[in-house]
């Protein structure tokens, strides 16, 4: 796989899963509102995808090792993959009861992250269990922290 596609895919996929899950869980535990969760997912899908794409663009430019074409490929792939991954979390939230949808999204996100981490570790001849567990642990920590932050916001800022 070309460097530019690999950068966009790996960053977009990972950030799309972890960022979207974190925001969804925080909004769910803070508001228990389907509209808030849908709005959060759409915001991540659009604004954060563009922000991450620009971040990758600047990062690739700063390395001074890539052609303009490669830099733009990385930029566009990051936006596209992050947008698609983040948007995919809308499906359960729209079609199922919110609590069940949140559980589905956690399982879905961690499964995709685990599979990607497994494939990446195998391709790089790394210890699969270590790479997968490291990536999943980080995602679970984000989920737990977002849940407690949402809960605390609910406790301290609702009447």
Domain ranges of the chain: 3-157
Contact 16, 86 (CB under 8 A): yes
- The tens digit of pLDDT for each residue in 27-40 reads 999 999 999 999 99
pTM for this model (two decimals): 0.92
Average pLDDT, whole number, for the chain?
Answer: 94
φ and ψ of 107, to 5 deg: -60, -45
Q: DSSP labels for the chain?
A: --HHHHHHHHHHHHHHHHHHHHHHHHHHHHH--HHHHHHHHHHIIIIIHHHHHHHHHHHHHHHT-S-HHHHHHHHHHHHHHHHHHHHHTHHHHHHS-HHHHHHHHHHHHHHHHHHHHHHHHHHTT--HHHHHHHHHHHHHHHHHHHHHHHHHHHHHH--
Q: Is the pLDDT of residue 4 over 90?
A: no
Assigned token pair, 127: 């210890």
- The tens digit of pLDDT for each residue in 110-122 reads 999 999 999 999 9
Which residues lie closer than 8 Å to 39 by C-beta, 6 or more apart?
Answer: none
Contact 26, 146 (CB under 8 A): yes
- The tens digit of pLDDT for each residue in 125-141 reads 999 999 999 999 999 99
> In Å, how far are 9, 52, 87 from 81, measured between CA atoms?
6, 11, 10
Contact 157, 29 (CB under 8 A): no
- C-alpha 91, offset from chain centre: 15
């Amino acid at each position: 796989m070309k460097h530019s596609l690999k950068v966009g895919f790996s960053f977009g996929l990972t950030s799309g899963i972890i960022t979207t899950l974190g925001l969804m869980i925080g909004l769910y535990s803070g508001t228990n509102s389907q509209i808030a969760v849908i709005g959060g997912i759409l915001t991540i899908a659009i604004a954060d995808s563009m922000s991450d794409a620009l971040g990758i663009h600047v990062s690739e430019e700063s390395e001074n090792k890539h052609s303009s074409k490669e830099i733009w490929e990385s930029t566009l792939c990051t936006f596209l993959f992050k947008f698609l991954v983040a948007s995919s979390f809308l499906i359960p939230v729209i079609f199922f009861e919110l609590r069940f949808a949140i559980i589905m999204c956690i399982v879905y996100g961690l499964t995709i992250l685990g599979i990607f981490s497994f494939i990446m570790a195998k391709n790089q001849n790394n210890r699969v269990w270590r790479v997968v567990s490291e990536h999943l642990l980080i995602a679970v920590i984000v989920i737990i922290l977002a849940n407690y932050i949402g809960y605390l916001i609910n406790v301290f800022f609702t009447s």
